[in-house]
């Protein structure tokens, strides 16, 4: 199984969408293995978004994600990184397809509700940035055999 990081940004928290967004991931069959609400400090935000440094949206993005609480969640499931990205939809709400998180809830080209790791490598780095190893729970939901077909023995 693969893990990925999701961050519900300040706009999702302020708009009361955190529970609805998390429910979508759970309903799809993704397992929550870590969850916390926190204020992100500027140093951590700069490390997280380092690849965007120098771009015109970088400083406004840092101000935005440090302006209010965010919710960090680690999700686990088969192909979790790609699945979460598909569920989030296009980066900007007006361009996102209906049925995606941003398509259903997003209207802004600046505030896009949610961040999801863009690769398994990024997921590992991001999870380690926001969670200690002892905060990641290893557990098996009783519904797992009813979520994935284990008949082939391949659960990755």
Residue 80's nearest CA partner among 118, 113, 115 is 118
Catalytic residues: 115
Answer for the pair 36, 107: CB distance below 8 angstroms, yes or no: no
d(CA 18, CA 39): 15
Report how far residue 117's alpha carbon sits from residue 125's, in angstroms, rounded to the nearest whole number.
Answer: 9
Which stretches within the chain are classed as H helix?
Answer: 10-14, 18-28, 42-48, 58-65, 80-88, 101-105, 120-130, 144-147
């Amino acid at each position: 199984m693969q893990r990925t990081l999701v961050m519900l940004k300040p706009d999702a928290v302020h708009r009361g969408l955190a529970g609805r967004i998390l429910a979508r991931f759970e309903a799809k069959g993704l397992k929550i293995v870590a969850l916390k609400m926190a204020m992100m400090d500027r140093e951590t935000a700069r490390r997280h978004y380092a690849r965007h440094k120098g771009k015109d949206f970088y400083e406004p993005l840092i101000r935005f994600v440090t302006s209010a609480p965010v919710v960090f969640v680690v999700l686990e499931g088969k192909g979790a990184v790609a699945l979460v990205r598909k569920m989030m939809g296009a980066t900007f709400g007006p361009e996102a397809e209906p049925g995606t998180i941003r398509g259903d809830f997003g209207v802004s080209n600046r505030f896009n509700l949610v961040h999801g790791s863009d690769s398994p490598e990024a997921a590992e780095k991001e999870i380690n940035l926001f969670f200690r190893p002892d905060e990641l729970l290893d557990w098996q939901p009783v519904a797992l055999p009813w979520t994935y077909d284990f008949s082939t023995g391949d659960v990755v």
